[in-house]
């Protein structure tokens, strides 16, 4: 009898876990289908998409210059890889929504109200970082690298190497633009406080310029173009964290000692 009861308890404990695995599998399948939905039409125009991506480099190359492909499969695989990455890039809101749908039932209502806006804000900031890298940083960086070529050297970039360089740049700036989200989460989780971050502001500014030095070409302009937005985004994160952590008015509850209502009786004099 005891063995049967233990089996029933184990089965009842395993059912919710299996249900969670099934839910996770279904949401992962939806994510894959969404990526495939975007990747199939994008693969048809893979060469055109790569031409758009190569514009920052082609603008700095001499006329009639072309890029090269050193591997046999590069002319086909590199544009196809770009179309797949673009499909994932376009599917980011849907991917975050699926993860949100999986985690939301396990969260309290106040946590749901806090996390959902952060997911939307992090997506928008990541897109802004990628756009900033493509329209501002990439032209400056590629212009510096092509101009630094020694005399007599013709810049002929491999298409696969260029794609890896640009994707790394996009990812780095997309993550760097998440600084407000990191700041808000660090304060909300109790890992640090706004006052502590304000005291460390000089170190944050120096760190932003150091990160800009490693992620951008070795010139002051492009380094500043990354460091200043990171500093600004850090200050924005402090503002939102301060608004969220503003102390609420707590009603003072007067605690009064319980007085005993029983009076001490004086002993009656003996007659």
For 157-183, the pLDDT digits (tens) are 899 999 998 998 888 888 888 888 888
- Number of domains observed in the structure of the chain: 2
Q: What is the pLDDT of residues 222-251, one digit of tens each?
A: 778 778 888 888 888 888 888 765 544 333
Last residue of some domain: 155, 174, 193? Answer: 174
**Gyration radius of the chain's alpha carbons:** 30
Q: Determine the pLDDT at residue 32.
A: 94
Q: Kindly state the average pLDDT of the residues 209-232.
A: 78
Query: Does a structural domain hold residue 263?
Result: no
Residue 42 contacts residue 86 (beta carbons within 8 Å): yes
Reported as a pLDDT band with limits 50, 70 and 90, residue 218 is: low
Residue 81 contacts residue 163 (beta carbons within 8 Å): yes
Question: Does one domain contain both 147 and 34?
Answer: yes
Query: Does a structural domain hold residue 262?
Result: no
Compute the half-sphere exposure of residue 64: CA atoms within 13 Å on the CB side of its CA: 0
Q: What is the pLDDT of residues 85-144, one digit of tens each?
A: 999 999 988 988 888 888 777 777 777 777 778 888 888 999 999 999 899 888 888 888
24-38, 170-184, 204-218: least confidently modelled range: 204-218
Residue 173 to residue 92: CA distance in whole angstroms: 16
Q: What is the pLDDT of residues 47-101, one digit of tens each?
A: 999 999 999 988 888 777 888 888 888 998 999 999 999 999 999 889 888 888 8
For residue 250, the tally of other CB atoms under 10 A from its CB is 6
Q: Is the pTM of this model over 0.85?
A: no
pLDDT at residue 3 is higher than 70:
no
pLDDT mean across residues, the chain: 80
Question: Does one domain contain both 137 and 63?
Answer: yes
Question: Does one domain contain both 39 and 159?
Answer: yes
The pair of three-digit structure tokens given for residue 265, joined into one six-digit string? 């009786």
Residue 46 contacts residue 78 (beta carbons within 8 Å): no
Residue 189 contacts residue 111 (beta carbons within 8 Å): no
Q: Determine the pLDDT at residue 55.
A: 92
Reported as a pLDDT band with limits 50, 70 and 90, residue 254 is: very low
Question: Does one domain contain both 102 and 233?
Answer: no
- Identify the domain containing residue 6 by its residue range: 2-174
Last residue of some domain: 156, 174, 192? Answer: 174
pLDDT at residue 271 is higher than 60:
no
Query: Does a structural domain hold residue 63?
Result: yes
């Amino acid at each position: 009898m005891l063995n049967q009861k233990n089996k029933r308890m184990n089965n009842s404990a395993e059912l919710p876990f299996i249900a969670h695995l099934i839910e996770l599998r279904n949401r992962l399948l939806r994510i894959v289908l969404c990526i495939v939905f975007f990747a199939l039409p994008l693969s048809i125009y893979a060469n055109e998409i790569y031409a758009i991506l190569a514009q920052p480099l082609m603008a700095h190359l001499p006329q009639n210059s072309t890029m090269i492909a050193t591997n046999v499969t590069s002319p086909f695989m590199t544009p196809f890889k770009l179309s797949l990455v673009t499909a994932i890039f376009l599917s980011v809101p849907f991917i975050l929504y699926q993860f949100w749908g999986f985690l939301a039932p396990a969260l309290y209502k106040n946590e749901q109200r806090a996390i959902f806006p952060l997911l939307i804000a992090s997506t928008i900031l990541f897109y802004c970082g990628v756009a900033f890298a493509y329209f501002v940083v990439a032209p400056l960086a590629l212009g510096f690298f092509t101009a630094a070529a020694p005399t007599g050297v013709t810049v002929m970039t491999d298409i696969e190497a260029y794609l890896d360089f640009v994707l790394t740049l996009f990812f780095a700036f997309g993550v760097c633009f998440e600084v407000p989200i990191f700041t808000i989460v660090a304060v909300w989780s109790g890992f640090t406080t706004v006052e502590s971050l304000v005291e460390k502001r000089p170190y944050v500014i120096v760190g932003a310029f150091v990160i800009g030095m490693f992620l951008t070409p070795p010139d002051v302009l492009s380094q500043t173009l990354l460091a200043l937005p990171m500093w600004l985004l850090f200050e924005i994160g402090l503002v939102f964290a301060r608004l969220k952590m503003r102390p609420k008015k707590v009603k003072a509850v007067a605690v009064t000692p319980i007085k005993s209502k029983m009076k001490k009786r004086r002993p009656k004099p003996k007659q």
